[in-house]
Amino acid sequence: MNALGRHILVEFYNCSPELMNDVVHIENSMVAAAETAGATVINSTFHHFSPYGVSGVVVIQESHLAIHTWPEFGYAAVDLFTCGDSVDPWVSYNYLKDAFEASHGSAMECRRGQLDLLKRNDFNLESLRDVSPQPQEKLGTITRDVWFTERDENIALSLKHTGNQLYKKDSPYQRVEVYETLAYGNLLTLDGMVMCTQKDEYVYHEMITHVPMFSNPKAKRALVIGGGDGGTVRELLRYEQLEEVTLVEIDELVIEACKLHLPETAVAFDNPRLNLLVEDGIKYIKECADERYDLIIVDSADPVGPGEGLFTAEFYQEVYRCLTKDGIMITQSESPRFNSAVFVEIYDTYKQIFGAEKVHCYLAAIPTYPTGTWSFSYSSKGEAHPLTFDVNGAAAFSKAQGLKYYNEDIHMAAFALPNFVKELLNAKPGQVTNEYSAEPTA
């Protein structure tokens, strides 16, 4: 070959949109394409972008393979660059065309570094070293750098994972996936949005349960709508006083995925005190008897997909009806920093139903949720107040149960709100500006 390298610029058309958005499949295919052509793989780095698109590169001893995908067009742009003549990049081309289920592709080959235009320089390599030479990597060792990214208009969260997807199934409602991340353990996502991880789920689940339980010590019957990961009922079932705990989850695949891959969260599904129902929580609450529950926890995902109906005034009015006269409703109420408009709207709705003086906001730090600051709502039908609770009992309970986040001090401190949150809670829908929100409010 009369050149230093071969560079093929590739375009694949009418690829499977599903595969073009699957970072695990693309990374595996790119590595396999390199190895099939006889290349020595050194490193792979891949990112998935939410809601769609994948970028990545496989570094080989002979140069690299790079890609960017547009799933919405079924299109992939690929670079195949190999040095020397020991690796044939066209082998990689054919492999990827099949792997991406492309109807056709186009390619242009360039010879890089034409030898007749180059002059070889003689030099002493040792004289160029300013640091000690690094030990040669173990033959056959591949460094994988594969990333899951949840991205919104202005912010993103990226978590590096092993490249091995533990679970991926589509239900009638959503896509359920589990990734093995390096920093936070196994990660559950629904339609590409982070739900919980092994290493920080306890914050959410302890705060959504223990705050209402210690301010409503006479509670006997509790209902959880959503919460198919099992963490909320795990915490509720620590209380012997609860005679009945009912969990209504619409998607059985969420339960299945968490039983398999987040077993610490899903540990309570076999508890005999748990009444587990796989059905629509909105339908269940409509058919529920008046004043049936002392505590109702709405453990919902974001207000999209199957969770959208859990963010309406009609739904919260039904919840109010189903609470006993001293009952409490707890919801996850989004991040005041992430989407201020939604935050203001839902609190305005709670106040209209329960009364402004009966609705309280409290905060917790959850690193894998947008902005890291997350809120919960506490709405009482009767006279229960979140800061009227058994302080000594909460301290003893936290210690005895080995809780990781909740204690008596956190209970009180969670209701100490920053000024900007207080301003949002006093605002009306439509009055919110972009001053505090990470997402556009209009």
Supply the CATH number for residue 248's domain. Answer: 3.40.50.150
Residue 442 domain flag: no
pLDDT reported for residue 150: 87
Tokens linked to 179: 């990734």
83 a catalytic residue: yes
Considering 22, 47, 299, 333, which one is annotated as catalytic?
299
Residue 340 domain flag: yes
Q: Is 174 annotated as a binding residue?
A: yes
Q: Are residues 180 and 215 in the same domain?
A: no
Residue 133 domain flag: no
Q: Is 300 annotated as a binding residue?
A: yes
pLDDT reported for residue 156: 84
Cβ(365)–Cβ(422) below 8 Å: no
Considering 68, 79, 88, 385, which one is annotated as catalytic?
68
Q: Are residues 32 and 69 in the same domain?
A: yes
Which CB contacts under 8 angstroms, 24+ apart, belong to 361-364?
361/333, 361/336, 361/415, 361/417, 361/421, 361/425, 362/207, 362/211, 362/386, 362/414, 362/415, 362/417, 363/414, 363/417, 363/421, 364/203, 364/204, 364/207, 364/405, 364/414
Please tell me the distance from the alpha carbon of residue 68 to that of residue 272, in angstroms, as a whole number. Answer: 50
Q: Are residues 285 and 393 in the same domain?
A: yes
Q: Are residues 216 and 190 in the same domain?
A: no
Taking only Cα atoms into account, the Rg of the chain, rounded to an integer number of angstroms, comes to 27
CATH of the domain at 190: 2.30.140.10
63 a catalytic residue: yes
Considering 63, 375, 377, 398, which one is annotated as catalytic?
63
Q: Is 280 annotated as a binding residue?
A: yes
Q: Are residues 406 and 376 in the same domain?
A: yes
Tokens linked to 346: 């839902």
pLDDT reported for residue 126: 62
Kindly report the pTM of this predicted structure: 0.80
Please give the angle made by the CA atoms of 79, 85 and 88, to the nearest 5 degrees. 50
Query: Could you give the number of structural domains in the chain?
Result: 3
Q: Are residues 407 and 275 in the same domain?
A: yes
* Tens of each residue's pLDDT in the chain, 442 residues: 688 999 999 999 999 999 999 999 999 999 999 999 999 999 999 998 877 899 999 999 899 999 999 999 999 999 999 998 889 999 999 999 999 999 999 999 998 888 888 887 776 656 555 555 555 555 556 788 888 888 877 788 899 999 889 999 999 999 999 999 999 999 999 998 999 999 999 999 999 999 999 999 899 999 999 999 999 999 999 999 999 999 999 999 999 999 999 999 999 999 999 999 999 999 999 999 999 999 999 998 765 444 455 568 999 999 999 999 999 999 999 999 988 888 999 999 999 999 999 999 999 999 999 999 999 999 999 999 999 999 999 999 999 999 999 999 999 999 999 999 999 999 888 777 667 676 665 5
Residue 375 domain flag: yes
CATH of the domain at 22: 3.60.90.10
Q: Are residues 274 and 346 in the same domain?
A: yes
Q: Are residues 15 and 163 in the same domain?
A: no
Q: Is 229 annotated as a binding residue?
A: yes
Q: Are residues 181 and 302 in the same domain?
A: no
Residue 109 domain flag: yes
Residue 183 domain flag: yes
Domain finish residue from 196, 221, 255: 196
Domain finish residue from 196, 214, 236: 196
Residue 88 domain flag: yes
Structural domain boundaries enclosing 154: 146-196
Please tell me the distance from the alpha carbon of residue 27 to that of residue 163, in angstroms, as a whole number. Answer: 8
Please give the angle made by the CA atoms of 157, 158 and 164, to the nearest 5 degrees. 140
pLDDT reported for residue 336: 93
Q: Are residues 28 and 158 in the same domain?
A: no
pLDDT reported for residue 208: 98
Q: Is 201 annotated as a binding residue?
A: no
